[in-house]
Structure 1
Amino acid sequence: MWLQHPVILENEVVKLLPLESSHFDGLLQAARDPRIWKYLSFNGLDSDAFRNELRSAVLRKTMGEEYPFTVFDNTTGKIIGSTRFYNMYPAHRKLEIGWTWYAPEYWGSGHNVACKSLLLTHAFEALSCVRVQFQVHEQNVRSRAAVERLGAKFEGILRNERIRDNGSIRNTAVYSIINTEWEQVKRLLHDRIKSPKS
């Protein structure tokens, strides 16, 4: 298995623990704001469907297909969201970071930068990735700006890339960071963690 379980990632701002069933109630509590789900393919406001997705994510983690994390605020210990490694291709040393969401009170707070810094460091330095990809709803201006602020490069739009749970067809913006860009991105992230509002 490419990722050696458990992967526990932590800095002063956030702690990422492998998703487990004991986190489900906290995640459901954090996910109650409809703004979280406006552009995501999945509607986490349906608590039964959300629990089923979380159970499936734990199973896919066990199978080595993806690696979901629960994100904790490292000051309060409170669950604030989730993210994961998926679309993992060890033979090609590439993966995707996605399924990322946070309770809105943590938007723009620096928690996302701190979280992505941990994930990207693990991807490039522990897993020796040559490519890390991000996919975002074309119309999700806030999330696209957040990915761009990480130093990821825009690669283009995949038209009619998926059909969301609500039946709408989504165009997807694709971004990436490659290994030769990592040191520069790492410095950028370090500076942004020190000054999270920048």
Structure 2
Amino acid sequence: MTAPSPAQSAPERIVLEGRFVRLEPLEPRHAKGLLAVSSLPGGPERYRWLFSQAPTSLAETEERIAAQNEGPDRYVAIIDQRDGSLVGQQAWMRIFPEHASIEIGGVYWGLPMARTPLATEALFLFARHAFDDLGYRRFEWKCNNRNEPSKSAAKRFGFQYEGLFRQDRITKGESRDTAWFSMIDSEWPALRAEYQRWLSPDNFDADGQQKSRLTTR
């Protein structure tokens, strides 16, 4: 058996281009857009399961971005290719090139991404870069076990449930049990093909509605 290899490196601060979204390294210039999408009606509620609350001012948003960029995680802004607006953010977390393991986390997919291909492509661009460009073996997804939409999304995207870390965190004054999911490199070729099929222009009608569902199982 061939010995496992480390990944090439941690993800660099580069732009990842898709048909629906563009992922850019999160910078202070994105603060206005992040505040705007977080402040839409219903937007703050989407922070319910994150470690932070929704930002309430431009200065707070700029400070948060600066603090995030000083830490070990690497955040990106999610840009809608149609009009250049910022619609969310996500991050590379638990970055272990030596073990070829990495996580997508810090996910805030704003309301403009709901029930659109944007979220699926944002996830796909991370997975493809991790597996195909950088040589990672393991791609993780974690969430509060009470966050049923997140667990459903993980399964839809092709992550496999691995187990529950009980009383893993205290978040916003509440005990958090953390559900762990992953996909690994041996699973990726089939998942990649299904993502590419689903994201193809042929799979969407003139109104932008999917003709068939993403099938990862």
| TM-score, scaled relative to structure 1 | 0.90
Amino acid at match of 2:151: R
Amino acid at match of 1:39: W
Match of 2:189 among 143, 165, 183: 183
**Residue 4 of structure 1: how far off its partner (Å):** 6.0
Amino acid at match of 1:43: Q
Q: Which has the larger radius of gyration?
A: 2
Match of 2:49 among 34, 39, 50: 39
CA displacement 1:137-165 (0-9 Å, x = unmatched) = 1111112111111111000111111111x
CA displacement 1:39-80 (0-9 Å, x = unmatched) = 2121124446544332111223xxxx2221000001111000
SS in 1 for 2:199: helix
Pairing 1:120–2:127 present: yes
CA contact (8 A) 1:160 1:170 kept: yes
CA contact (8 A) 1:66 1:88 kept: yes
Amino acid at match of 2:199: I
Amino acid at match of 2:49: Y
**Residue 179 of structure 1: how far off its partner (Å):** 0.6
143 and 4 in structure 1: CA distance in 2 versus 1, 3 angstrom threshold? closer
Partner of 2:141: 134
**Identity, % of aligned positions:** 24
Pairing 1:159–2:166 present: yes
Partner of 1:111: 118
Partner of 2:36: 29
CA contact (8 A) 2:10 2:97 kept: no
Amino acid at match of 1:36: R
The runs of at least 4 consecutive aligned structure 1 residues that moved more than 6 Å come to none
CA contact (8 A) 1:82 1:101 kept: yes
Partner of 2:109: 102
Specify every segment of 5 or more residues in structure 2 that has no aligned partner in the other structure, as ranges.
Answer: 1-7, 204-208
SS in 2 for 1:180: coil
What RMSD over aligned residues (CA atoms) do the two structures have, in Å?
A: 1.8
| TM-score, scaled relative to structure 2 | 0.83
Pairing 1:172–2:178 present: yes
